[in-house]
Amino acid sequence: KAGVTQTPRYLIKTRGQQVTLSCSPISGHRSVSWYQQTPGQGLQFLFEYFSETQRNKGNFPGRFSGRQFSNSRSEMNVSTLELGDSALYLCASRREGRGNTIYFGEGSWLTVV
Amino acid sequence: GIQVEQSPPDLILQEGANSTLRCNFSDSVNNLQWFHQNPWGQLINLFYIPSGTKQNGRLSATTVATERYSLLYISSSQTTDSGVYFCAVEEDSNYQLIWGAGTKLIIKP
């Protein structure tokens, strides 16, 4: 079956612009979470969605937002981009219920210039 | 909340060597997973191992839940094993995964 699909894979934006990243989870997975990873750093949790509702949220400013659609696809948006937003943005999905394996997409590489 | 610590932070080995990576967590957990992130950023799930021992080829993992630690063993290392290894645990109180900072492994030919 198809894995987690993220688009676009690579993008370059200028400061002040906004960006929208998309994530299609594995079929049957209703939980989608987003992470930011800056060069040489670990994974910073952004938010998790389940059944179109934000279930958990990390410690990021309000410029970072997301949503989930009824087909479980998710988007995240970053407004008023800053240079420090340059990072790999990873999306992951898993089945509902505790103890389920989480699967990651290949990520979206965002460069802000 | 739960704290997850991984050690060592960095590890450099020659091809063919064995290695042990450790993940300590501060409270009881429902779920512990090990991941490998390759140099291109792709994160691959290695093991789901809340307790006990599992093996997959040259890799094996052991979690001792009562003592709150997990170990990832890599035998006969290959250059393709290079990358960052993360462990992540799921809190009892919610569904959020808590991640360690990772161990960066470099295997030299």
For residues B34 and B32, what is the distance between their CA atoms, to the nearest angstrom? 7
Return the pLDDT at B31. Answer: 86
pLDDT category at B97 given cuts 50, 70, 90 is confident
Q: Name residue, tokens 């390759």.
A: B38
Average pLDDT (B84-99) is 84
pLDDT category at B34 given cuts 50, 70, 90 is very high
Judging by beta carbons within 10 Å of its beta carbon (0-12, 13-18, 19+), is residue A62 exposed, middle or buried?
Answer: exposed
Reading the block at residue B80, the tokens are: 């393709």
Average pLDDT (B24-46) is 90
Provide, as residue numbers in chain B, all residues whose Cβ is less than 8 Å from the Cβ of A45.
96-97, 99
Q: What is the pLDDT of residues B43-66, one digit of tens each?
A: 999 999 999 999 999 999 999 999
Q: What is the DSSP string of B33-68?
A: EEEEE-TTS-EEEEEE-SSEEEEETTEEEEEEGGGT
Q: Which of A88, A102, A109 sits opposite B45 (nearest CB)?
A: A102
**Averaged pLDDT of chain B:** 93
Q: Name residue, tokens 């080829």.
A: B57
CA–CA min distance B109, chain A (Å): 23
Chain A residues 29-58 within an 8 A CB cutoff of chain B: 31, 33, 37, 42-43, 45, 48, 50, 55-56
Return the pLDDT at B73. Answer: 98
Judging by beta carbons within 10 Å of its beta carbon (0-12, 13-18, 19+), is residue A32 exposed, middle or buried?
Answer: buried
pLDDT in 10s for each residue of chain A, 113 residues = 679 999 999 999 999 999 999 999 999 999 999 999 998 778 899 999 999 999 889 999 999 999 999 999 999 999 999 999 999 999 999 987 767 888 999 999 999 99
